[in-house]
Amino acid sequence: MSDEPEFLISYQDSAGGVPVLLIHGFPLSSLLWEPQMAELADVSRLIAPDLRGHGNTSASPPPYTMEQLAIDCVNLLDDIGINRPFVVMGLSMGGYIAFEVFRQYPGMVAGLILAGTRAGADSEEGKKGRDAAAKLVREQGVSALVEQMLPKLMAPAVYQDNPELVEFVREMMLETSVEGAIGGLMAMRGRADSLPTLLDIDVPTLIIHGTDDQLIPTSEAEAMHQAIHDSRLVIIPEAGHLVNLEQPEAFNDAVRAFLETF
């Protein structure tokens, strides 16, 4: 018996095709996947949860772990009757969770889409940054973290050229609860090193990265591509960390071509 409190997980679902679990990054929600929910529902069944404490999913007290977030996502699939292998698409922290799903549910992951993410764990300096960010949230609320992170989340040009997109992302981030933000930061801080996992990945994998990602360099995507046996790498120009939102057509073309092989 788990002593965890019961909570309801909010999610978006579409119809048809191989199931795809879409896991958003930090501190975002399933709204991140709006361009994919709109354009890819004919090729796959897309299930996009809000992680605990994010979007419309209730929070539990922090800290969270990647294991717990992975279990939340797969429990949701189970609850809605999906018991066949599925593709996992994760962006950034969603990618960290995707590695965890792959490790914890052998045989259930049919394919991986790793967008704007990296395999390594946090460095000591990175961990200090998580602690500082958690302190900021505790003392000044989520809006202070949003103002700190927002300028780095997309390609520099987006802030001049597409203020509507910047506002959309800001609003999405502000939906994160204090508990969810601290929980997510602690999950990222404590996450396992997934570099050894790369050599075990035996399912088709698509890696997508933006050339202008200010948070995770393209070299991380190239390194994952080198290490994962059956992987494709798509580098999308004029896209930052939120590559699927910033360049939805190029992103969707790559994902569609990949999903059509299932």
Binding site for ligand MLT (CB under 6 A): 25-26, 92-93, 188, 215, 241
Shortest separation between residue 17's beta carbon and ligand MLT, angstroms = 26
Shortest separation between residue 202's beta carbon and ligand MLT, angstroms = 26
Shortest separation between residue 173's beta carbon and ligand MLT, angstroms = 10
Rg (CA), the chain: 17
Q: How far apart are CA 241 and CA 9, in angstroms?
A: 26
222-to-119, 177, 206, 208, 225 alpha-carbon distances in Å: 11, 34, 12, 10, 5
Closer Cβ to ligand MLT, 25 or 210, answer by number? 25
Structure tokens at 92: 């950034």
Shortest separation between residue 137's beta carbon and ligand MLT, angstroms = 13
Closer Cβ to ligand MLT, 44 or 244, answer by number? 244
Closer Cβ to ligand MLT, 87 or 145, answer by number? 145
Closer Cβ to ligand MLT, 110 or 149, answer by number? 149
- Please report, as a single letter, which amino acid is at residue 260: E
The answer to whether residues 72 and 94 touch, using CB atoms and an 8 Å cutoff, is no
Q: Give the up-direction half-sphere exposure of residue 73: CA atoms within 13 A in the CB hemisphere.
A: 37
Closer Cβ to ligand MLT, 126 or 196, answer by number? 126
Shortest separation between residue 18's beta carbon and ligand MLT, angstroms = 24
50-to-25, 54, 105, 120, 133 alpha-carbon distances in Å: 10, 6, 20, 24, 21
